[in-house]
A = this chain, B = another copy of it.
């Protein structure tokens, strides 16, 4: 049994992490923090979890754990991660604070100075299926954003094969459930404003998650500057679908692409490449750590990829536990199926 703690248990990501950890047969949850509900119990916030007391992060016993999941918002995460690392604890950080290796890029997109740049070198970006060897060794896992996870996993086989036409934009039209917007009350998340509505926001090249996608596309020699990303808020609690339009630099048949995707992802327990003619929907992955990908050939050089994840599952807490499993040499699917 590995002793772990969770910082920031009261948000939706923290809650989902706790729910998975409670069922994980090789994990013992030592503490869970919430500043607003310290002294109380998870059930004060999420009634289905009855047995998890909440403490202030100040009193969290870092000396009793081998790893922590940090579910705090960006910027707030940095000092806590630093403290944990200084105590020798391995960290899975679900915020954006250690995803971008370049502090200038970080500061441009997040508008705050990076206060722990010394940790960036040891951080591993944790799309499990792509970066497994680095994840295995790291003491600081930067868990990816939900949108980037859905987009990168769909693009990866094309990137790896160098098939993307760099002259054409990668257009990702993404749809996300409302839990992705966090638990803070605001008019934007008011039931009556969201229900029966569908809203694009920060479309074009304005959303912070572009930086992560751009980074990964660049790593594989793709054109990271030519990404168009349009997130939309949909009246759904959890779920994410990215519909991605890409151009190829070589003719491909549906069968060729199917083979390529199926081969590359054959041993990945959480990636489902749908067969020809099927389309990924949110229902393919809801309440799971799965990513479902469908490939639609419009013309020999023009594709539509549909990529579905649960924004709280593979898009956050699920992938975090998958990465934890990799870091601690546990079979990857434990606690997640």
Contacts and interface: CB of A to CB of B under 8 A. Distances in A.
Interface of A: 12, 22-23, 25, 46-48, 50, 169, 171, 173, 175, 177-179, 183, 185-187, 189-201, 203-205, 228, 230, 232, 234-239, 241, 243, 245, 272, 279-288, 290, 292, 296-298, 302, 304, 306, 337
Given A191-B194, A201-B279, A204-B298, 12 more contacts: A22-B337, A23-B337, A47-B281, A48-B287, A179-B192, A196-B283, A197-B282, A198-B236, A199-B279, A205-B298, A228-B245, A245-B245
A304 B205 CA distance: 11
Contacts of A190: 183, 185, 189-191
A56 to B, nearest CB: 21
B191 A235 contact: yes
Contacts of A298: 204-205, 228
B243 A232 contact: yes
Contacts of A194: 191
A234 B283 contact: no
B302 A228 contact: yes
A197 B283 CA distance: 6
A201 B198 CA distance: 18
Given A189-B190, A198-B175, A230-B243, A169 B302 contact: yes
B192 A178 contact: yes
Contacts of A200: 241, 243, 279-281, 306
17 contacts: A12-B192, A47-B272, A48-B283, A48-B285, A178-B195, A190-B191, A191-B194, A191-B235, A197-B236, A200-B281, A200-B306, A201-B279, A203-B306, A204-B298, A230-B243, A232-B243, A245-B245
Contacts of A179: 192
B171 A245 contact: yes
B185 A187 contact: yes
Contacts of A22: 337
The listed residue with most B CB atoms (<10 A of its CB), out of A23, A205, A282, A298, is A298
B186 A189 contact: no
Contacts of A284: 47-48
Contact of A191 (B178, B228, B241, B280): B178
Contacts of A196: 177, 196, 236-239, 282-283, 286
The 5 closest A-B pairs by CB, nearest first: A199-B281, A47-B284, A173-B173, A191-B194, A204-B298
B243 A203 contact: yes
A235 B195 contact: yes
A133 to B, nearest CB: 26
Contacts of A302: 169, 228
Given A198-B175, A201-B279, A243-B203, A187 B191 contact: no
